[in-house]
Structure 1
Amino acid sequence: MQRRGSGQKVECDIYVRISQDVTGEEQGVQRQEERCRALCAQLGLKVRHVWVDNDLSATKKNVIRPDFEAMLQSKPQAIVCWHTDRLIRVTRDLERVIELGVNVYAVEAGHLDLSTPAGRAVARTVTAWATYEGEQKAIRQKLANQQAAQQGRPYTAGIRPFGYADDHMTIMAQEAAAIVEGAQMILAGESLSAVARKWTEAKLLSPRSKAAGAQAWTLRGVKKVLMSPRYIGQSTYHGEVMGEGQWPPILDPEIHYGVVAILNNPERFSGGKRTGRTPDNLLSGIGLCGYGGCTDTVGGRGYRGVPVYGCTATHTRTPRSIADDRASKATLARLMFPDFLGQILEAQNAQDGASGAQLQSQTQELRQRLDGLALAYAEGSISLSQMTAGSAALQKKLEAIESEMVSSAGIPPLDPVKGVAGLIQGWPTLPLPTRRAWVDFCVIVTLKPANGRHMSSMSVDDHVTIEWRNVSEKQVRRSPGDPR
Structure 2
Amino acid sequence: MSFMQNRGSGQCAECDIYVRISQDLTGDELGVQRQKERCRALAAQLGLKVRHVWVDNDLSATKKNVIRPDFEAMLQSKPQAIVCWHTDRLIRVTRDLERVIELGVNVYAVEAGHLDLSTPAGRAVARTVTAWATYEGEQKAARQKLANQQAAQQGRPYTAGIRPFGYADDHMTIIADEAAAIVEGAQMILAGESLSAVARKWDEAKLQSPRSKVTGAKGWTLRGVKKVLTSPRYAGMATYLGEVMGQAQWPPILDPGVHYSVVAILNSPERFSGGKRTGRTPGTLLAGIGNCGYDGCTDTVNGRGYRGVPVYGCAAKHTRTPRSIADDRASKATLARLMFPDFLGQILESQNAQDGQSGAQLQSQAQELRQRLDGLAVAYAEGSISLSQMTAGSTALQKKLEEIESEMVSSAGIPPLDPVKGAAGLIEGWPSLPLPTRRAWVDFCCIVTLNPAKGRHMSSMSVDDHVTIEWRDVSE
- The correspondence for 1:294, drawn from 287, 292, 297, is 297
CA distance in 2, matches of 1:171, 1:253: 17
1:383 is aligned to 386
SS of 1:21's partner is coil
- The correspondence for 2:369, drawn from 366, 370, 376, is 366
TM-aligned CA deviation for residue 406 of structure 1: 2.4
**TM-score, normalization: structure 1?**
0.94
TM-aligned CA deviation for residue 297 of structure 1: 0.9
**1:391-430 alignment runs, 5 A limit:** 391-430=394-433
Alignment root-mean-square deviation, CA = 1.9
CA distance in 1, matches of 2:12, 2:5: 8
Deviation digits for residues 134-167 of structure 1 (CA, Å, limit 9, x no counterpart):
1111111100110111111110001111001111
Structure 2 residue 236 is the aligned partner of structure 1 residue 233: yes
SS of 1:164's partner is coil
1:481 is aligned to none
Structure 2 residue 200 is the aligned partner of structure 1 residue 197: yes
- The correspondence for 1:278, drawn from 270, 277, 281, is 281
**1:123-134 alignment runs, 5 A limit:** 123-134=126-137
1:467 is aligned to 470
**1:137-176 alignment runs, 5 A limit:** 137-176=140-179
TM-aligned CA deviation for residue 342 of structure 1: 2.0
Distance 1:81-1:272 versus aligned 2 partners, 3 A rule: closer
Distance 1:351-1:176 versus aligned 2 partners, 3 A rule: closer
Structure 1, 410-419 or 269-278: larger mean CA deviation: 269-278
Structure 1, 124-133 or 170-179: larger mean CA deviation: 124-133
TM-aligned CA deviation for residue 13 of structure 1: 0.2
Deviation digits for residues 27-62 of structure 1 (CA, Å, limit 9, x no counterpart):
221221222112111211111111111111100111
Distance 1:273-1:336 versus aligned 2 partners, 3 A rule: farther
TM-aligned CA deviation for residue 437 of structure 1: 0.4
Structure 1, 334-343 or 229-238: larger mean CA deviation: 334-343
Letter in 2 for 1:247: W
TM-aligned CA deviation for residue 353 of structure 1: 7.0
Contact 2:271–2:278 (CA under 8 A) maintained in structure 1:
no
2:209 is aligned to 206
Name stretches of at least 5 consecutive residues in structure 1 with no aligned partner: 475-484
Letter in 1 for 2:362: L
TM-aligned CA deviation for residue 350 of structure 1: 7.5
Deviation digits for residues 390-443 of structure 1 (CA, Å, limit 9, x no counterpart):
111211221222222222111111111111121111111111101000101110
Structure 1, 39-48 or 215-224: larger mean CA deviation: 39-48
- Aligned residues: percent identity? 89
Deviation digits for residues 363-405 of structure 1 (CA, Å, limit 9, x no counterpart):
1111111111111111121122221121112112212222222
SS of 1:241's partner is strand
2:69 is aligned to 66
Contact 2:43–2:49 (CA under 8 A) maintained in structure 1:
yes
Deviation digits for residues 47-97 of structure 1 (CA, Å, limit 9, x no counterpart):
111111111110011111111111112111111111111000011111111
SS of 1:8's partner is coil
Letter in 2 for 1:398: L
CA distance in 1, matches of 2:28, 2:402: 55
Distance 1:325-1:265 versus aligned 2 partners, 3 A rule: same
Distance 1:250-1:201 versus aligned 2 partners, 3 A rule: same
CA distance in 2, matches of 1:443, 1:59: 64
**TM-score, normalization: structure 2?**
0.96
SS of 2:211's partner is helix
**1:34-53 alignment runs, 5 A limit:** 34-53=37-56
Number of aligned residue pairs: 473
Letter in 1 for 2:11: Q
